[in-house]
Amino acid sequence: MKKILLNFKIVNKVAMWLRIRKWKRIIAESKMFDNEYYLFKNPDVKRANIDPLSHFLEFGSNEGRDPSEWFGVKKYLDSYPDVAQSGINPLAHYIMFGSQEKRLVELNSIYKSSYLNVYQDFVFNDLPILTAQKYVDPMVSIIIPAYNQAIFTYKAIESILQNANKISYEIIVIDDNSSEKDAIQIADKVRNIKYIRNNNNLGFLKNCNKAVSFAEGKYLVFLNNDVIVLPNWLSSLLDVLENNNDVGLVGSKLIFADGILQEAGGIIWNDASGKNFGRGDDPKKSEYNYLREVDYVSGASMAIRRDLFINIGGFDERFAPAYYEDSDLAFTVRSLGLKVVYQPLSEIIHFEGVSHGTNVELGIKKHQVINRELFKKKWQHVLHAHAKPNQKLFLAKDRSFGQKHILIISHNISVTNKDPDNSLIYCLQFCQALDYVITLVPVDSIKNEKDVKPLQQKGIFVFYEDNGFSLLNHLKTFGHHYDFAYFTYPEIQCKFIKSVQAYTKAKILQIK
């Protein structure tokens, strides 16, 4: 009898292992599990260095841990008791059965309250009248496509007025035939803006293209209406275009309402799927705060020269009504020999999902799936050189495939020209002249934004030990990507050379 019970337990264990293996494959293929979100929300999993999807399948879902911001495990199981009784992992159930059965999923409670109810206590008619500055010859045209959600549009404009930093601008609100009375009255609440209302609903993409015909600025900034712009948002975007003729498109850092990072530039994999780099992480971490090239920037906040946008032909209307139009614009700009750049100093709070929701099965959001295939077909000749999904992230985040990477370890980040013996100055100049991708590690320096920002704005990744992620961890994880290493002082070399040699194949440079 004991032998039979033992065999029964073994059979059950094997059966469960096979089920989990199947669920893991299905969930991985669906791309509905957000590794970064899961690790950020569950630091114990990150500390234990456990594969996040494996943890979710074996333990996390039973403990009520959510696989992404849009899928609430408890909410799904509470709504559908039959799923709980079936013993099937809730996310796997939704992918295999629930989506086809039109079972609803909602944002988990934290995100739902952060986004959808953020202005629930505001009454549109009670809001004070805003007055935008009126310029005869605006430098920039800020285009805000809108459909309903009048209070979001109002608050977005209010934040612009607070953070324009004396830049000459015009605000163009183009209303896509809103059905709500408040949305139609936005021009009564905000003076000195251009308000255009469509007779028919054109959809997001065509709405943006139409707005450009009313723009007078040298630069265009496309801005979602469900945002709050933060200080220096506009000036830092325009600085990049003003000072770099080889840059064609520049975008902002997107932050969720609860302070979590939404996107620090975007990655497109070789299957045309996308990745919001850094999603779910701390926006203050070093790796998200240096100027760098990216595959695309989000259309929620991006800037481009008006003449370039017009010459390109605007957003490709094959992607109407929405989705992948920003990625396609970025690829088109790059095909003309211009760079697409992420500017971390330009920050916005983005209430993602307010306009179109988050469920790719429903409404306009379903075009995210449809347009991915269209995008893949259009850019297949370029995508073959991109990395496979979630591979080579170190290189994909800044499009540095084929470039040489150098690790520079220094006491501090003093680069003042008052000190002619400062070897760091010469090293940085030498490496930038050779177009090396630089990671600078100031091991004895307290983080000082005044010193760090000028280097970050030159495209240098200044590495600090954020959230316990040490230089040793960095070397263990990414060391194999470094081609060269340089130590600014002999004592620094003595302290770190063994770790560098153990985890990299980098050639040690002597720069004189």
Interval 366-404: pLDDT, tens: 678 889 999 999 999 999 999 999 899 999 999 999 999
Closest CA to 67 of 83, 81, 52, 78: 52
CB 292 within 8 A of CB 397: yes
β 274-276/190-191 pair status: unpaired
Interval 231-259: pLDDT, tens: 999 999 999 999 999 999 999 999 988 88
Whether 214 has a pLDDT exceeding 70, the answer reads: yes
**10 Å Cβ neighbour count for 448?**
11
Ranges of H-type helices in 196-292: 204-212, 233-243
Closest CA to 69 of 39, 110, 24, 30: 110
Interval 298-317: pLDDT, tens: 999 999 999 999 999 999 99
**10 Å Cβ neighbour count for 347?**
21
Task: Enter the DSSP assignment of 296.
Answer: B
49: left (phi over 0), alpha (psi -120 to 50) or beta: left
CA-only gyration radius of the chain, Å: 25
How deeply is 85 buried, as exposed, middle or buried, from its count of CB atoms within 10 A (0-12, 13-18, 19+)?
exposed
Per the document, the length of the chain is 512
CA–CA distance, 226 with 293 (Å, rounded to integer):
26
Chain-wide mean pLDDT for the chain? 87
CA 186 to chain centre: 30
CB 404 within 8 A of CB 370: no
3-class SS letters over 243-268: HCCCEEEEEEEEECCCCCEEECCEEE
Whether 166 has a pLDDT exceeding 50, the answer reads: yes
Report the greatest alpha carbon distance in the chain.
Answer: 92
Interval 62-118: pLDDT, tens: 888 888 766 788 888 888 888 888 889 999 988 888 766 666 655 444 444 444 556
CA–CA distance, 442 with 483 (Å, rounded to integer):
19
145 DSSP β-pair partners: 174
Interval 434-448: pLDDT, tens: 999 999 999 876 667
- 187: tokens are 């021009």
**What's the start-to-end Cα distance of the chain, in Å?**
79
CB crowding 97-117: b at 16 or more within 10 Å, else e: ebbeeeeebbbbebbbebbee
Domains identified in the chain and CATH numbers: 1-96 (no CATH), 125-353+360-395 (3.90.550.10), 402-509 (3.40.50.720)
What pLDDT does residue 365 have?
A: 58
Task: Assign 391 to helix, strand or coil.
Answer: coil
β 190-191/130-131 pair status: parallel
Please state the φ and ψ torsions of residue 389, each to the nearest 5 degrees: -50, 125
What pLDDT does residue 411 have?
A: 83
CB 195 within 8 A of CB 217: no
140 DSSP β-pair partners: 169, 219
Residues in contact with 38: Cβ distance below 8 Å, sequence separation at least 6, in sequence order: 45, 52, 53, 55, 56, 60, 65, 66, 67, 68, 280
Whether 1 has a pLDDT exceeding 60, the answer reads: no
Instruction: List Cα–Cα distances, 168 to 135, 210, 215, 219, in angstroms.
Output: 6, 22, 13, 11
- 161: tokens are 């007025």
CA–CA distance, 151 with 454 (Å, rounded to integer):
37
Which amino acid would we find at residue 52?
P
What pLDDT does residue 40 have?
A: 73
Which comes out higher in pLDDT, residue 245 or 357? 245
- Choice among 19-28, 70-79, 328-337, 410-419 with the minimum mean pLDDT: 410-419
What band does 17 get if pLDDT is binned at 50, 70 and 90?
Answer: confident
Instruction: List Cα–Cα distances, 444 to 55, 423, 441, 447, in angstroms.
Output: 37, 16, 9, 10
Whether 154 has a pLDDT exceeding 60, the answer reads: yes
Which amino acid would we find at residue 145?
P
What pLDDT does residue 363 have?
A: 47
508 DSSP β-pair partners: 485
